[in-house]
Amino acid sequence: MSQTLTQHPKTGNMAQVGPDAQNIQWDGSDPGSIQACDLCRLKKRKCDLKTAGGRCSACEKSKSVCQMTHVTKPREKRKKLLTSPPPVGFGLTRIRKQMENLEERLKSLEELIKMSVAAKISESGLPERVDVMTPSSLPSTTSPAEQTSYVSDTLLAEVAESTQTSPGQTLLQALGSNQVRGTTGDFSRSLSRDINQMGTDVTQEWSPSSDSQFTITAPALATTDEELRPQVRYNGSKKCSLPPVQGGLFLLQEFLVDFNAAIPLFDTAVITSLFHDCYNGRVNGKPIEWVALKVVLGIAHRLRAMSPLGVPQDTENAEIYLQECLDAVPELLVLRPSLLLAQCFLGLAVVISTSSRPYPAQTFVSLALRVVQDLRVNDPQGIELMNTVDLVQQQRVFWIAYFMEVDMNLRAGRLPNLTPRLINVELPTDDQPDAAGEITAANGEFKVNIFRLHVELALLQAEFGEQLSLPRKARKSEHSEDVELRAINSRLEKWRRNWIFELDAEHLRAALHRSDLVHFVVLESTYFSTAYAFWARILPAPGTRNNAFSAQGLIEGMSKQKAGILHKDARRFIDLLRLIPGDDIACNWLSLETIVSALVVVLAHIIFNPLDESSVSDFSVSRYMLQILHRLSNISKDDGLVAVQNLCVDLYLRAERALQGEKSLRR
């Protein structure tokens, strides 16, 4: 019997031939058969296995095992001959088709993720604020960061000084000969040199690490969402970046629900109509309409960056819209006063103040306040022949510009531009038909008009600034000035007794949507900076003329009495801020002065009261705040912020030394 061993290329099986191969005749009819034993093929020699014997002659001589693995060489694919060169762009067309295929697959994946998120929301039974719940409107479920343990016992060998200090003793006096170098001109350089001498392990203890508590993992959905990415178009030499229609309307909805509901910058119907006109090509070509549209998109992206679905792309998109709006500012400056112009300036101020360069926002707020005053909103005689809706919106814009400017002036140490005695605009009411300025708990437990709270606080801030700006000749006496300041502070404490401020951080986290929680944190920040400035003036340090929020002002003006008075409010603000995880986010840039002053108060309280039961937990949260401040300082590169950061690092190390000293004494 004659047999030929062949193998189909798809099977991949091996046939081995051993000593029984004498019964097989190799006829060599199959051109794909390899007729040589394995050893001969390995040594690349001629094999005569075709003979009748069971071994080839070479294997017979060497007495080796002669076997053959039968392999059929697969046929090569036929090559297609090109009779002509490929068409131009042939490779680009293929790549484009591949990209389109990938985009389709990504979009289908996004739809699946969206459906999954919607299913989870419906299963959890969370109430929706609008027909479509936006990502940044989801209830805040992020638990506060766990307290971290303070630095190990190897930083400093010195023992903290005696804590038996008088209530009026300042932080500089308590530190004695080892006082903080914040009062010298080379504060930043000397402190940095001292920190470097202590070794890199010291700075590593408080520098943010890769697993910081406030790090947010970017979800895949937002990073591939093409509908929100701005697309660049050119009209001659002018550049205009806008997202597709669906993405633009989605961002408009987020702006209206997450920002405009609490801070009514635009009338909902008017701004929605403007969006439709811009996308449908019905605008008159003036830049002001496009600026209004872009500031809305920029604010929406700022809010998305603080949401659970926030990604770095949101910050990049906001910067794109901001830059294009700034390019159009020269054209805005020559326009006649209008409500839309004031709204554009305020929108620009909001986007700038929530960036890493927040200081120029003050200029645009002042411009907006002047424009809205040119509309005669604040005239004593009032405005005749005006639509009620337009009048109400003008008054709202006036109050937004007013409380933003008053707060910025207080933090910068400037005089107020408009005193409360000269204001004729009615305060916002709590029973607006459109519920403007209200934030409501997710479960309907409560609602509060946060817009009115902002306005009431701004009037107190303005009274305080007016009292400070009185010339010496107009003051009756130093005692009368102190009485006036304490009277204003009493009204501030009355404002603080609002029931909403009795809710702790955990209650607010569980009750409020994330965007509403951000508005509440900003209000809390405004209050604490106001209270800090009040007490810095009511209990002034002898001979100090520095800004209360500068590095020198912070270290010179802090005393044991002030630290004791402000400690509770400082801890409350820090606990609320920790509910919004992140570093380079709008909430932190808006609260720079508050973050710094609250951190100094907490650290000073530890230094003055190391035996207090709250000192250990205070030290833990101060480390978390120092991480945020370190990150903001690295991003901003501002000299003043760097100096404040160095001050806080020094106080942090001294607070740790005080705790270690008390710990060793207890042993």
HEC-encoded secondary structure of 113-169: HHHHHHHHHHHHCCCCCCCCCCHHHCECCCCCCCCCCCCCCCCCCCCCCCCCCCCCC
Selection from 310, 311, 213, 307 nearest residue 627 by Cα: 213
Cα separations (Å) of 642 from 413, 517, 560?
A: 19, 29, 25
Structure tokens given for 602? 């907490």
Structure tokens given for 344? 């554009």
pLDDT reading at 426 higher than 50: yes
pLDDT reading at 367 higher than 60: yes
Tell me the Cα Rg of the chain.
36
- Provide the pLDDT for residue 65: 82
Q: How confident is the model at residue 239 (pLDDT cuts 50, 70, 90)?
A: confident
C-alpha dihedral, 176 to 177 to 181 to 183, nearest 10°: 60
- Does an H or E element contain 556, and which? helix 551-557
Greater confidence (196 vs 202) lies with: 196
Q: What is the mean pLDDT of the chain?
A: 76
6-20, 100-114, 222-236, 435-449 — most confident range: 435-449
Tally of CB atoms within 10 A around 519? 23
Least confident of 160-169, 280-289, 454-463: 160-169
What value does the mean pLDDT take over residues 615-625? Answer: 92
* Surface-to-core class of residue 517, CB atoms within 10 Å of its CB (0-12 exposed, 13-18 middle, 19+ buried): buried
Q: How confident is the model at residue 64 (pLDDT cuts 50, 70, 90)?
A: confident
pLDDT reading at 117 higher than 60: no
- Provide the pLDDT for residue 53: 59
Q: Are 456 and 523 in contact (CB under 8 A)?
A: no
Cα separation, 283 vs 286, in Å, equals: 8
Q: How confident is the model at residue 481 (pLDDT cuts 50, 70, 90)?
A: confident
Greater confidence (398 vs 150) lies with: 398
Q: How many helices (H) and strands (E) does the chain have?
A: 25, 6
Cα separation, 450 vs 455, in Å, equals: 9
pLDDT reading at 80 higher than 70: no
Greater confidence (214 vs 576) lies with: 576
- Provide the pLDDT for residue 486: 87
Beta bridge partners of 402: none
Q: How confident is the model at residue 480 (pLDDT cuts 50, 70, 90)?
A: confident
Q: How confident is the model at residue 23 (pLDDT cuts 50, 70, 90)?
A: very low
Which one-letter amino acid corresponds to residue 59? C
Q: Are 69 and 106 in contact (CB under 8 A)?
A: no
Mind listing the pLDDT tens digit for each residue in 559-593?
Answer: 889 999 999 999 999 999 999 888 888 899 999 99
Structure tokens given for 648? 């806080």
Cα separations (Å) of 414 from 145, 462, 576?
A: 36, 11, 28
Number of residues that this document lists for the chain: 667
Tally of CB atoms within 10 A around 241? 16
Report the chain's terminal Cα–Cα distance, integer Å. Answer: 99
Can you tell me which residue has the tokens 């947010």?
216
What value does the mean pLDDT take over residues 268-276? Answer: 94
Mind listing the pLDDT tens digit for each residue in 507-564?
Answer: 999 999 888 999 999 999 999 999 999 998 888 766 567 888 999 889 888 888 999 9
Name 616's Cβ contacts closer than 8 Å, sequence gap at least 6: 150, 659
Can you tell me which residue has the tokens 């550049």?
239
By three-state DSSP, how is residue 379 classified?
coil
Give the helix ranges, DSSP H, for 256-337. 268-280, 287-305, 312-327, 329-333
pLDDT reading at 478 higher than 70: no
- Provide the pLDDT for residue 585: 86
